[in-house]
C-alpha cells in the first residue's frame, strides 16, 4: 500500500533558521497545514504530525538543513506514520519551550506552519510571557505549547532512554503537564558604560526589501549593524549590543524588549528600504510620532516596516496584552524630543556622505521605536530599490563611512545630552 497517495496538500518549502535566541522551522504550503505537536522526554524530543501531506523531496530535505552547531536540535527524522500522516521527530539537545502556530499568506509567502524552539531559561522570552507585572525581577509564566489530543491507539513506551529507530514507531504517551516556569536571572552590574542597542532590520523569514540587482535588505542591515557595533565597542566608554547577530527573525516588540532589558541608553534601527519609484534616493532618519506621519513617504515606510511581524511570522497567542504593556502608552513626549535631537545629530553627519531624502528628521508610527524610556531612531541608510544606491550599500568602504557618520552623530548627541546613571 502506498501511503499519502491522496494527500490534499504539498510542502513547497522547508526552512530552518538557527540562532542562540531560538531555532525556527518553517513549512510552507498551498493550503493550511493540519498538525499536532507532542512533547516527549527521556530523551527530549518533539513529535510533529502533519496530515494530508505528501512526503515529497522538499520535506525530506528538512533533516539536511539542521546544522551540527544548532543550539537546540540534534537531528530531525521524517517518515510516514500512517496513511496521509507524516511524522517529524525532532531530537533535542535538552529541554526546550516550543511554540507552534500557523500563518496565512503574507508578502511572497503562502500558508506557513512555524515551530519556534526556545531555550528553557531565556530571560527575554520570559519577559514576553509575563501577564501580571512589568518588573524585571518577578518570575514569569511561560506560554503553553500547542498540544492537541493524542491518537487513541498510541502505545506508551515513553520510558525509553534511546530514540526509536523508526520515526513512525515513536509512541505518544499522554502529556498533561505544562512546561516549567523560568526564573528571571539578574545580570551582574559592571562598569557604567553607554550602551547602544543596534537593531539590524528584518531577518530570517522576513527578508525586507529587495534591491534591483537582488540584494536583500536583511543582509545589508546586519552587515552595517555589525560594523557599527565594532566601532562603538572600540570607544572607551561605549558598548554596542545587537538585537540580532545572525539571519533570523526577531519580532518588533522583542527588539524593544531586548533594548530595555539591556538598559540601553539609545536605540538605533538600521534599514535600507525600497520605494515604488526606483529613482527615489537618499538617506533618512526617523523618530517616533505621537500623532501622524510628517509626510506621505514617512507614512508609507512606517506601514511597510510595521508589517515585518506579519511577514516574519509572530504568534500573538496570549502575548498581545503583554506587548501592549511593554510598549506602554505613548505619553513620552520628552523621550521623542530626545530622539529628535539624536536623529538630527546623526542626519547632519550622514549628509556629508550621501544625499538626504529629507533635510530634517521625519516622524511616523514605527513600532520598533516605541520604547517609552530610550531615545530611539530609525536610519534609512539609502534606497535599496535604487540601483546606484544598492551598489553603494554593498560596498565595504561606503558601509564604513556610514557607520562612522552614525557614531559621530551619537557622540555629538551625548556631548550635549550626557547619559544618566542607570539603577
As a whole number of angstroms, the distance between CA 78 and CA 170 comes to 11
Per-domain boundaries in the chain: 1-120, 194-416
Cβ atoms of 129 and 85 within 8 Å: the answer is no
Quick one: which H or E segment has residue 102? strand 96-103
Cβ atoms of 121 and 22 within 8 Å: the answer is no
Quick one: which H or E segment has residue 29? strand 23-29
Fold of 1-120: Immunoglobulin-like (2.60.40)
Task: Please choose, from the candidates 79, 115, 119, 78, the residue with its C-alpha nearest in 3D space to the C-alpha of residue 100.
Answer: 115
Cβ atoms of 82 and 2 within 8 Å: the answer is no
As a whole number of angstroms, the distance between CA 154 and CA 172 comes to 6
Place of cell 511616523: 364
As a whole number of angstroms, the distance between CA 386 and CA 391 comes to 9
CA atoms within 13 Å, Cβ hemisphere of 195 = 20
Kindly give the pairing relationship between strand 194-200 and strand 266-271. Answer: parallel
**297: three-class secondary structure by DSSP:** helix
In this prediction, residue 330 carries a pLDDT of: 44
In this prediction, residue 354 carries a pLDDT of: 94
As a whole number of angstroms, the distance between CA 63 and CA 86 comes to 14
Cβ atoms of 119 and 71 within 8 Å: the answer is yes
Q: Which one-letter DSSP state was computed for residue 156?
A: -
Can you say how many angstroms the Cα of residue 332 is from the centroid of all Cα atoms in its chain?
A: 25
Kindly give the confidence (pLDDT) of every residue in the chain, 423 residues in length, as a single tens digit, with 9 standing for 90 and above.
Answer: 444 455 678 999 999 999 988 999 999 999 999 999 999 999 999 999 999 988 999 999 999 999 999 999 999 999 999 888 999 999 999 999 999 999 999 999 999 999 999 998 755 544 444 433 343 433 333 333 433 333 433 333 333 444 445 555 554 443 333 333 333 333 334 457 899 999 999 999 999 999 989 999 999 999 999 999 999 999 999 999 999 999 999 999 899 989 988 899 999 999 998 887 788 899 999 999 877 777 788 787 788 788 888 889 887 554 444 444 444 444 467 789 999 999 999 999 999 999 999 899 999 889 899 888 899 999 999 999 999 999 999 999 999 999 999 999 999 999 998 776 555
- Tell me the CATH architecture of domain 194-416: 3-Layer(aba) Sandwich (3.40)
Task: Please choose, from the candidates 374, 164, 342, the residue with its C-alpha nearest in 3D space to the C-alpha of residue 265.
Answer: 374
As a whole number of angstroms, the distance between CA 177 and CA 158 comes to 14
Amino acid at each position: 500500500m502506498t501511503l499519502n497517495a491522496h494527500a490534499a496538500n504539498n510542502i513547497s518549502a522547508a526552512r530552518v533558521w538557527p540562532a542562540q535566541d531560538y531555532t525556527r522551522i518553517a513549512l510552507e504550503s498551498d493550503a493550511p497545514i493540519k498538525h499536532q505537536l507532542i512533547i516527549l522526554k527521556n530523551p527530549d524530543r518533539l513529535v510533529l504530525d502533519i496530515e494530508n501531506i505528501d512526503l515529497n523531496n522538499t520535506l525530506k530535505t528538512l533533516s539536511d538543513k539542521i546544522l551540527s552547531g544548532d543550539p537546540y536540535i540534534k537531528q530531525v527524522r521524517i517518515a510516514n506514520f500512517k496513511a496521509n500522516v507524516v511524522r517529524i521527530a525532532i531530537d533535542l539537545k535538552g529541554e526546550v519551550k516550543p511554540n507552534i502556530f500557523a500563518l496565512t499568506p503574507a508578502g511572497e509567502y503562502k500558508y506557513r506552519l512555524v515551530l519556534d524552539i526556545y531555550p528553557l531559561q531565556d530571560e527575554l522570552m520570559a519577559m514576553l510571557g509575563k501577564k501580571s507585572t512589568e518588573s524585571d525581577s518577578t518570575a514569569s509564566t511561560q506560554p503553553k505549547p500547542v498540544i492537541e489530543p493524542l491518537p487513541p491507539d498510541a502505545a506508551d513506551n515513553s520510558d525509553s532512554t534511546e530514540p526509536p529507530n523508526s520515526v513512525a514507531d515513536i509512541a505518544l504517551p499522554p502529556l498533561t503537564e505544562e512546561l516549567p516556569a523560568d526564573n528571571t536571572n539578574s545580570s551582574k552590574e559592571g562598569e557604567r558604560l553607554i550602551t547602544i542597542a543596534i537593531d539590524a532590520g528584518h531577518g530570517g523569514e522576513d527578508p525586507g526589501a529587495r534591491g534591483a540587482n537582488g540584494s536583500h535588505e536583511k543582509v545589508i542591515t546586519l552587515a552595517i549593524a555589525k560594523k557599527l557595533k565594532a566601532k562603538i565597542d572600540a570607544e572607551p566608554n561605549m558598548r554596542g549590543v545587537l538585537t540580532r547577530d545572525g539571519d533570523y527573525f526577531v519580532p518588533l516588540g522583542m527588539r524593544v524588549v531586548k533594548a530595555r532589558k539591556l538598559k540601553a541608553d539609545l536605540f538605533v534601527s538600521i534599514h535600507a528600504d525600497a520605494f515604488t519609484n526606483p529613482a527615489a534616493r537618499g538617506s533618512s532618519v526617523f523618530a517616533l510620532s505621537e500623532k501622524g506621519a510628517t509626510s506621505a513617504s514617512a507614512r508609507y515606510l512606517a506601514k511597510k516596516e510595521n508589517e515585518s511581524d506579519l511577514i516574519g511570522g509572530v504568534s500573538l497567542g496570549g502575548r498581545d496584552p503583554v506587548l501592549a504593556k511593554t510598549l506602554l502608552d505613548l505619553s513620552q513626549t520628552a523621550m521623542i524630543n530626545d530622539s529628535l535631537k539624536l536623529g538630527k545629530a546623526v542626519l547632519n553627519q550622514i549628509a556629508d556622505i550621501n544625499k538626504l531624502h529629507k533635510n530634517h528628521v521625519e516622524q511616523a508610527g514605527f513600532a520598533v521605536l516605541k520604547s517609552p524610556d530610550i531615545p530611539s531612531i530609525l536610519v534609512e541608510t539609502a534606497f535599496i530599490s535604487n540601483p546606484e544606491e544598492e551598489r553603494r550599500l554593498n560596498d565595504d568602504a561606503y558601509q564604513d563611512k556610514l557607520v562612522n557618520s552614525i557614531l559621530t552623530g551619537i557622540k555629538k548627541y551625548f556631548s550635549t545630552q550626557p547619559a544618566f546613571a542607570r539603577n
